[in-house]
Chain A
C-alpha cells in the first residue's frame, strides 16, 4: 500500500525456485527495513478471514499467495 497510489506489486515469484525465493526474501527484508509492516491475509475453513502479522520471511506460510506491506502504525 502506498499513499496516493494504492496497491503496488513489489515482487512475485515461486518459492519453490531458489532464485525467485531469494528475490522475494530480499524484497521482504527491504520493505521491513523501510519501516513497513507485513501481513498475510488468511481464511479459516469456516470462512472467517483475518490477517497474520509476519516479522520474518520464515513466518510466511508456504501456501500464502501474497504478503501485504503497509506503513507502520503510529499514534494519531
Chain B
C-alpha cells in the first residue's frame, strides 16, 4: 500500500516538474535580466542637433548667397549641369544662361536631374556618402553635410559623381509631383528674390555668380 502511494507521489512529482519547470525557469531568467547591470551608452540627444547646426554653418561658408538662401528657404539647392556644352547654348561661360539641364539636391535623397526650361524630370542619381568607420554610431552625415558633399562632388567632378551614382528613371524614390512642386516653388522664390533686389537696388546676379534671365 505504502509502496503504491510512494510510486504515485513520484509520478505526480515528475509530471509537475515537467509542467512547472519551464515557467519557473522563465521567471528565474526574467529575475536575472532585471537585476543585470546594463552598460550605459551615454547617448546625447542633442548631439545630432548640434552636428546639424555646425553642418549648416559649413554649408553657408561654402556656397554662394543665392544657394544658401535657396537651401534655407526651400530645403534644396539647384546646381547647373556643366556637361554637354550647356553654357554655349545661350550665354557665356560666366553666365551659364541656357544651360540645358540642372540638378536638384535634397538631403539624403537622390539627386534629380531636370530641364529648367520645361521642368521635365530626366533621372534620379542615387548616391550616398557612408562612413564605414561609424565612429559616432550613425552612418549618416547631418542633412546639411550631405547636401554640401553632393554640391562639392557635383561642382568639383560632375562626371565622376554621376558615374558613381546609380541612375534610375525619375520617380523611383522621389515623387515626381513633389519635385515639380519644388521646381514651381523655386521659380516663385527666384521671382520674389529678383523683385526684392530690384526694390532694394541689389543685384541677385552678383550674389549668385550668374546672370538672372
Contact = CB atoms under 8 A, between A and B. Distances in A.
Interface in B132-154: 132-142, 145, 148-149, 151-153
A1 B110 contact: no
A52 to B, nearest CB: 6
A49 B64 contact: yes
A7 B165 contact: no
B152 A3 contact: no
Given A1-B145, A5-B136, A6-B145, A68 B129 contact: no
B141 A70 contact: yes
Instruction: Say which size band chain A's interface belongs to.
Output: 20 to 34
Interface stretch (B11-19, B49-57, B177-185, B194-202): B49-57
Given A6-B50, A46-B94, A48-B209, A34 B156 contact: no
B210 to A, nearest CB: 7
Contact of A47 (B126, B135, B142, B209): B209
Interface in B44-62: 47-48, 50-55, 57-58, 61-62
Give the residue among A37, A43, A71 with the most B Cβ atoms within 10 A: A71
B127 interface: yes
Contacts of A25: none
A4 B51 contact: yes
Contacts of B145: 1, 6-7, 70
Given A47-B207, A48-B209, A70-B145, A34 B133 contact: yes
B26 interface: no
Interface string A29-49: 000001101010101101111
A23 interface: no
A74 B136 CA distance: 20
Contacts of A49: 62-64, 67, 155, 209
A73 interface: yes
Interface of A: 1-7, 34-35, 37, 39, 41, 43-44, 46-53, 68, 70-76
Given A6-B50, A52-B156, 13 more contacts: A3-B138, A6-B145, A37-B153, A44-B209, A46-B209, A47-B209, A48-B208, A68-B152, A70-B129, A71-B129, A73-B128, A73-B149, A74-B130
